[in-house]
Amino acid sequence: MKGRVLITPRSLTRSDHPALARLRDAGLSIELGPAGRQPTKAELLDLLPGCVAYLAGVEPVDRDVLSAAGELRVIARNGVGVDNIDTASAREIGIEVVNTPGANARSVAELTVALMLALARGVPESHRAMREGRWQRQAGIELFGKTLGVVGFGQIGRIVGQFGAALGMTVCAFDPMLDQAMAAEHGVESVPLGELLDRSTVVSLHCPASADGLPLIDAAALGRMPNGAFLVNTARWSLMDPSAVLDSLERGRLVGVAIDAFETEPPPPDDRLLRHDRVVSTPHLGGFTRESTARAADAAVDGILRVLTRATSEAV
């Protein structure tokens, strides 16, 4: 097996990850993208021509980039989401797109719960006050007995639901694919989105972006949430209307928001929502643990080798 493989995930370009050795062992050469950051479109247009495989991060991959990559056979995303890739154009051109479902599910779920607890107890504000020499105590809330609404009940949502139940929360979930039998198996209530919003002290988002591009959490959705509710978004920035979320915070209906997914990375430093005192934001840390990075890299390498081996066999 011969050819170059472009590697761009930020977790893999700072140093040579052990999983990449299997690509070299198969006879492939490695091309690392910019260290520790997303490549630009111009850089992709320069780096991808001549590559037979592409282990991709979250950078946008549009038709122009795909058309320029004349020898490309496979794109492997080291995560579950492929909405940053123009998959329709990839299919048309003959490039197979594979992903790594479940590889980062536990790490995203653990961060989600960390963010929920940070919001409930005001940890960031208290830490900031202590660092500034201020003794500032504020009453938090216990999550025990509260309702957790999980929007999207895939592998991440299911683990978040398990954690919520372990904290003594009532867990309800909305997912078009979730039937009552599956809900009962996982110990959650399957409810319509409106009912979930009506009932939940904490709403946690774990679903893909809407097909129509419209936010799921808009002013109307926020208006249904109880006063004093929290919103946690570790999925997609586009799932929420940032102006409506900011307005809800300023009016006090939402008392805390946590965000780990952004429209652009890094986001604008003057973003009003992210600068709000009741917003906790983390720089897309959900899947960024040593364990999940290893699982995702191994699964992505598996996908590349599987597709290239099949292509080699068919060419013989």
**pLDDT value for 260:** 97
Out of 124-128, 216-220, 307-311, the most confident range is 216-220
- How many domains does the chain contain in total? 2
pLDDT, average across residues 46-53: 96
**How far is it, in rounded angstroms, from Cα 261 to Cα 115?**
13
Q: Sorting pLDDT into bands at 50, 70 and 90, what band is 315?
A: low
Q: What is the pLDDT of residues 254-268, one digit of tens each?
A: 999 999 999 988 899
pLDDT, average across residues 272-278: 95
In this structure, the answer to whether residues 240 and 116 fall within a common structural domain is yes
In this structure, the answer to whether residues 298 and 262 fall within a common structural domain is no
**pLDDT value for 121:** 96
**How far is it, in rounded angstroms, from Cα 123 to Cα 288?**
21
Q: Sorting pLDDT into bands at 50, 70 and 90, what band is 15?
A: confident
pLDDT at residue 316 greater than cutoff 80: no
Tell me the catalytic residues: 236, 265, 284
In this structure, the answer to whether residues 54 and 179 fall within a common structural domain is no
In this structure, the answer to whether residues 170 and 207 fall within a common structural domain is yes
**How far is it, in rounded angstroms, from Cα 214 to Cα 219?**
12
Q: Sorting pLDDT into bands at 50, 70 and 90, what band is 11?
A: confident
Note whether 235 and 205 are within 8 A (CB): yes
In this structure, the answer to whether residues 219 and 254 fall within a common structural domain is yes
In this structure, the answer to whether residues 154 and 235 fall within a common structural domain is yes
In this structure, the answer to whether residues 54 and 68 fall within a common structural domain is yes
In this structure, the answer to whether residues 85 and 38 fall within a common structural domain is yes
**pLDDT value for 233:** 98
In this structure, the answer to whether residues 194 and 226 fall within a common structural domain is yes
What is the layout of strands, in order, in the sheet containing 147-151?
189-190, 170-174, 147-151, 202-205, 229-233, 254-259, 279-281
pLDDT at residue 311 greater than cutoff 90: no
- The model's pTM is 0.90
pLDDT, average across residues 36-40: 91
**SS3 for 171?**
strand
Question: Residue 165 is part of which domain span?
Answer: 105-281
Note whether 281 and 120 are within 8 A (CB): no
**pLDDT value for 313:** 74
Nearest-10 crossing angle of helices 105-121, 123-131: 70
In this structure, the answer to whether residues 121 and 218 fall within a common structural domain is yes
Q: Which residue has the higher pLDDT, 211 or 282?
A: 282
pLDDT at residue 240 greater than cutoff 60: yes
**How far is it, in rounded angstroms, from Cα 215 to Cα 57?**
23
pLDDT, average across residues 294-304: 95
Query: How much is the CA Rg of the chain, to the nearest whole Å?
Result: 21
In this structure, the answer to whether residues 159 and 97 fall within a common structural domain is no
**pLDDT value for 20:** 94
pLDDT at residue 169 greater than cutoff 70: yes
Indicate which CATH number applies to the domain containing 305.
3.40.50.720
In this structure, the answer to whether residues 256 and 126 fall within a common structural domain is yes
Q: Sorting pLDDT into bands at 50, 70 and 90, what band is 211?
A: confident
